[in-house]
Amino acid sequence: MRIAIVGGGPAGVISAIELSKNGHEVFILEKNDRILKKLLATGNGRCNYTNEVVKVENYNCKDNFVEYALNLFTKEDLINYFKIMGIEPVVENKGKIFPVTLKANTVVNTFLNEIEENNIEVFTENEVLSIDKKNNFILKTNSGKFTADRVIFAVGGSSMPSSGSDGKSYKVLEKLGHTKTDIFPALTQIKLDSQYLKSVSGVKVVGKVKLFDDNVLLDERYGDLLFTTYGISGPPILDISRMINEKNKKLRIEIPLVNNVEDIEDFKNTLYTRFYTLNYFSLERWLMGIVDKKFVNMILKEVGLDKETPMNLIEEYKFEIIVNKLLKFKFDVIGTKGFENSQVTCGGISTSEINEQTMESKIIKGIYIIGEVMDVDGDCGGYNLQWAFSSGITAAKSILQEF
Ligand X SMILES: Cc1cc2nc3c(=O)[nH]c(=O)nc-3n(C[C@H](O)[C@H](O)[C@H](O)COP(=O)(O)OP(=O)(O)OC[C@H]3O[C@@H](n4cnc5c(N)ncnc54)[C@H](O)[C@@H]3O)c2cc1C
Residues lying near ligand X in the complex (CB under 6 A) are found at 6-12, 29-32, 35, 37-39, 41-43, 48, 127-128, 154-156, 159-160, 163-165, 169, 343-344, 371-372, 382-385, 388
> What is the torsional sign of CA 17, 19, 22, 27?
negative
Of 90 and 217, the one with the shorter C-beta distance to ligand X is 90
Confirm if 90 and 82 have CB atoms less than 8 A apart.
no
Of 31 and 178, the one with the shorter C-beta distance to ligand X is 31
Question: Which residues, in sequence order, are bridge partners of residue 65?
Answer: none
State how far Cα 398 lies from the chain centre. 27
**Distance between CA atoms of 181 and 328, rounded to whole angstroms?**
35
Collapsing DSSP to helix, strand or coil, 206 comes out as strand
What is the side-by-side order of every strand in the sheet holding 137-141?
128-133, 137-141, 145-148
* Least Cβ distance, residue 402 to ligand X (angstroms): 22
* Least Cβ distance, residue 290 to ligand X (angstroms): 34
Of 159 and 358, the one with the shorter C-beta distance to ligand X is 159
Of 7 and 256, the one with the shorter C-beta distance to ligand X is 7
Q: How many CA atoms lie within 13 A of 187 on its CB side?
A: 22
Of 364 and 385, the one with the shorter C-beta distance to ligand X is 385
Please calculate the CA angle 100-103-108 and round it to the nearest 5 degrees. 110
* Least Cβ distance, residue 375 to ligand X (angstroms): 13
* Least Cβ distance, residue 318 to ligand X (angstroms): 45
Of 187 and 299, the one with the shorter C-beta distance to ligand X is 187
Q: For residue 118, what is the DSSP state?
A: T
Of 40 and 305, the one with the shorter C-beta distance to ligand X is 40
Of 42 and 358, the one with the shorter C-beta distance to ligand X is 42
Question: Which residues, in sequence order, are bridge partners of residue 140?
Answer: 130, 145
> What is the torsional sign of CA 35, 38, 43, 48?
negative
Backbone angles phi, psi at 382, to 5 degrees: 105, 0
* Least Cβ distance, residue 123 to ligand X (angstroms): 9
CB atoms within 10 A of CB 19: 26
CB atoms within 10 A of CB 336: 24
* Strands 128-133 vs 216-227: parallel, antiparallel or unpaired: unpaired
* Least Cβ distance, residue 204 to ligand X (angstroms): 20
Q: Helices (H), strands (E): how many in the chain?
A: 14, 21
* Least Cβ distance, residue 21 to ligand X (angstroms): 19
* Least Cβ distance, residue 248 to ligand X (angstroms): 23
State how far Cα 129 lies from the chain centre. 27
* Least Cβ distance, residue 6 to ligand X (angstroms): 5
Of 174 and 193, the one with the shorter C-beta distance to ligand X is 174
**Distance between CA atoms of 397 and 72, rounded to whole angstroms?**
9
